[in-house]
Amino acid sequence: MIPNASDGLVAFHPYSRPGTLQEYLPDPTRPVERWYNRPNSGNVTTAAETILNLCGDPPTAVVDPFCGAGCTAAVAREFGTPFFGIEWDPVLACVSHAKATAHRHHARLLRHTPELTSPERLLEFCTGLDLDHERPTDEMHMACLAVVVCLAGETGAPTRLQDIEADLEKRPIEPESASKGLVRCGDCTDPGTWTGIPVGMRGAVVFTSPPFYRTGLPLEVSADLRAAASLLFPRHTPQAPAPTKASYADNVIGMLRALTRHLQSGWVLMEHEPGDATPEGLQAVAERIGEETDYRAHRVLTTKTFSKAGPLSLILCGRE
Ligand SMILES: C[S@@+](CC[C@H](N)C(=O)[O-])C[C@H]1O[C@@H](n2cnc3c(N)ncnc32)[C@H](O)[C@@H]1O
pLDDT attached to residue 14: 87
Question: Would you tell me which CATH number, out of the four given (3.40.30.10, 3.30.160.270, 3.30.70.20, 3.40.50.150), belongs to the domain 11-90+174-219+233-319?
Answer: 3.40.50.150
Distance 87 CA to ligand 1 centre (A): 6
Distance 113 CA to ligand 1 centre (A): 31
Per-residue model confidence as pLDDT tens for the chain (320 residues): 444 444 445 677 888 888 888 999 999 999 999 999 888 899 999 999 999 998 888 999 999 999 999 999 999 999 999 999 999 999 999 999 999 999 999 999 999 999 999 999 999 999 989 887 778 899 999 999 999 999 999 988 888 999 999 999 987 666 677 777 899 999 999 999 999 887 777 889 999 999 875 555 668 999 999 999 999 999 999 898 888 878 889 999 999 999 988 777 789 999 998 766 666 688 889 999 999 999 999 999 988 777 777 788 999 999 86
Sequence-separated (6 or more) residues with CB below 8 Å from residue 162: none
Which letter, b or e, does each residue of 59-95 get, where b requires 16 or more Cβ atoms within 10 Å of its Cβ? bebbbbbbbbbbbbbbbbbbbebbbbbbbbbbbbbbb
Q: Is 102:136 a contact under the CB 8 Å cutoff?
A: no
Given the CA of residue 189, which atom of ligand 1 is nearest to it?
A: 19
- φ, ψ of residue 62 to 5 degrees: the values are -110, 130
Give CA–CA dist 68/55, Å, rounded.
22
Distance 67 CA to ligand 1 centre (A): 5
In this structure, the residue with its CA closest to atom 19 of ligand 1 is 187
Helix (H/G/I), strand (E/B), else coil: 315: strand
C-alpha distances out from residue 17 to 259, 299, 303, Å = 27, 15, 6
Residues with a CB atom less than 6 Å from ligand 1 = 40-42, 66-71, 86-89, 92, 187-189, 209, 211-212, 215, 243
Distance 120 CA to ligand 1 centre (A): 26
Given the CA of residue 188, which atom of ligand 1 is nearest to it?
A: 20
- φ, ψ of residue 197 to 5 degrees: the values are -85, 115
Given the CA of residue 70, which atom of ligand 1 is nearest to it?
A: 8
pLDDT attached to residue 288: 93
Give CA–CA dist 193/271, Å, rounded.
22
pLDDT attached to residue 217: 61
* Residue in 183, 156, 205, 22 with CA at minimum distance from that of residue 89: 183
C-alpha distances out from residue 112 to 105, 115, 124, 131, 269, Å = 11, 9, 17, 21, 41
Angle separating helix axes 161-170 and 138-155, nearest 10 degrees: 130
Distance 215 CA to ligand 1 centre (A): 8
In this structure, the residue with its CA closest to atom 18 of ligand 1 is 187
* Residue in 81, 108, 250, 115 with CA at minimum distance from that of residue 167: 108
Distance 213 CA to ligand 1 centre (A): 11
Q: Would you kindly state where each structural domain of the chain is located, as residue ranges?
A: 11-90+174-219+233-319
Pairing assessment for the beta strands 311-319 and 268-272 based on DSSP bridges:
antiparallel
Pairing assessment for the beta strands 61-64 and 295-305 based on DSSP bridges:
unpaired
pLDDT attached to residue 228: 97
In this structure, the residue with its CA closest to atom 3 of ligand 1 is 68
Give CA–CA dist 308/174, Å, rounded.
41
Given the CA of residue 219, which atom of ligand 1 is nearest to it?
A: 25
Number of Cβ atoms within 10 Å of the Cβ of 247: 14
Beta bridge partners of 295: 319
From 30, 64, 87, the mutation candidate for ligand 1 (largest count of ligand atoms within 8 A of CB) is 87
pLDDT attached to residue 66: 96
- φ, ψ of residue 257 to 5 degrees: the values are -65, -40
Helix (H/G/I), strand (E/B), else coil: 182: strand
Distance 264 CA to ligand 1 centre (A): 23
Angle separating helix axes 71-79 and 44-55, nearest 10 degrees: 60
pLDDT attached to residue 93: 97
